[in-house]
Amino acid sequence: MKSKSTKMLINSMLKLVILVLLAGFSGALMADEENCMSCHQYKLFGRMDATGEFHNYFVDEAAFQNSVHGRLTCTACHSDVTNIPHDPTPRAVDCAQSCHIEDPFSGTPFSHAQVAENLDASIHGMKQDDSDEFKPSCKNCHINPQQISTEGLIFSEVSGNCSKCHQPEGLAYAIKHMEFHGNSHEFWTQERKMAVCANCHTDSTLVGDIFKDNMVASFMDTYHGVGFTHGDDRLPVCSDCHDYHSVFPQSDVRSTVHPLQVGETCGGIGCHEDASDSFVTGTMHFRYTGWKSQVLFWVKNVYILLIIGVIGFMLLHNFLDFLKTRKVLKAHPMPPSSEQRFFLRLNKSERISHIIVFISFSGLAVTGALLWIPPLNDVSWVPDWLFLGALRQWIHRIFAIALTAVSIYHIGYAVFTRRGRRLLWAMVPKPVDAVNIYHNLGYLLNLRKEAPKMPFFNYAEKMEYLAFAWGTLVMTATGIILWLEHLGPKFWVDVARLVHSLEAILAVLAIIVWHFYLVHWRPGKFPMSRTWATGYISEHEIEEEHGLDADEFTEEYDA
């Protein structure tokens, strides 16, 4: 009896195991009807060809099922494979063949044939000469990892991209196609689209040294390229302007960047809708020729020489001043504040103006620098969108408006008030300033025993004032051009952008190296002069820095 029960239990367990195995086997068959994965599931499944190169035929089933082709059977593309085992070298997949028996929405056979025709007619499909051997095929761009579908992209971008290939079907078809074939993964990001194009256009063996040196690099120098570097997905990359499959030479009227088409290209994707013809017909690659390239060359190099010369002189001057001032203070210590008298240097109006200038200039420097400094991804409390976005742009413009407003006020103050006119006349450079520079450098180099007596505004303050006035004028003018860049022409917009950037570098360095040292960081003043807050200056500073006009400081303040 016991033996019979045991046999029944064993039989039941065997049946259960068989059912489980059958269920698993049937499930595998349902997932892989052609039984392809019985071999292709192994990571080192492949063969060695006659040249000794190993060809790996492993297929990551999970990745494939998650791709845009995951709904297809293997033989839908590998149509010549009819049995197992099969010829180890099947024909190359023809992406232009009909992939689906019938599209679920249009009711017509779906095919990439039109895409293939567009590619064959484009510059990527046409053979230019007998030496031109390489022309990209579908799989040069759509490699396996890049077959994941595109749901999650911005709706306007996706619909625009689809309609480039599916013009006959229209936008409604593109929407349905996205909804049906999409999943939760976003793959065709700006970074991946750029990488696909740059993969060839940075390879001199494929495109030659001319394209290698200019195409990608010249794009990266533009505002679009800077935006790409900062990860701003609002800004276009190669395929957004040059199309995806119908990439024709710029001289071809069918090209999206042909002079007759570029206006629609730039204004039709939500970027420059109201741009003038003179703006959109300019080069978008910073690749100017002739006199235009010479203008950019000289503007850039003159500014570089100016920055090196001016900042270099300031650094040398301040280094000598630092050594000399420390030596003098060591021999003759500065008397404590309680034993000194203080006199008016800045009145209330001037102090308020100075504070507004300081805040607006600092804000402009920071928000401008964020345009060129990569996002601090390792600093979680600094949001990436602050580096290049509408908020940063408007913060920058608000600071610019504030600086322009206080500059206009300052002009009125200098012209229409008695004190303003007196200060303006005192700020005008005079021949004695050149003499003072010569004598003071001799003093700093220990070639003279005594420092020269300086006027109410010494040569360092006059240099700074004139530089700041010039810089504000240049930055305001070029800033207005950049704000209204869509009115063009683009070449002069690019000149203005170059001048704006280089002048900003010069201004920021000059303020840090010259103003901050002489006013705040000089020995005896460090860490900060309080004149900007109180408006008063000590009699020791008057004697050292403005001894020639010491009698001008008449309004005394009891410290």
What is the pLDDT, as a whole number, of residue 314?
95
What is the pLDDT, as a whole number, of residue 344?
85
Q: Give the number of other Cβ atoms within 10 Å of residue 324's Cβ.
A: 17
Angle at 102 (CA atoms; ends 100, 108), nearest 5 degrees = 120
Determine the Cα–Cα distance for residues 385 and 366; give it in Å rounded to an integer: 14
Residue 331 DSSP code: H
CATH topology of domain 324-557: Fumarate Reductase Cytochrome B subunit (1.20.950)
What is the pLDDT, as a whole number, of residue 87?
76
Q: Give the number of other Cβ atoms within 10 Å of residue 319's Cβ.
A: 12
pTM (2 decimals)? 0.64
124-130 long-range contacts (CB < 8 A, ≥24 apart) are 124/245, 124/247
Domain map (residue ranges) of the chain: 36-49+59-79, 148-188, 324-557
Phi, psi of 537 (to 5 degrees): -130, 145
| Contact present, 342 and 537 (Cβ < 8 Å) | yes
* Contacts of 20 by beta carbon, 8 Å cutoff, 6+ apart: none
The DSSP line for 173-237 is: HHHHHHHHH--S-----HHHHHHHHHHHHT-HHHHHHHHHHHHHHHHHTSHHHHHHHTT-TTS--
For the chain (559 residues), the mean pLDDT of every run of 10, in chain order, is 56 52 42 75 78 79 75 80 78 70 62 76 68 67 54 45 50 48 55 78 66 68 74 74 80 80 71 71 70 90 95 96 92 81 88 95 90 62 64 90 96 93 92 93 91 89 93 95 84 90 94 94 89 87 76 58
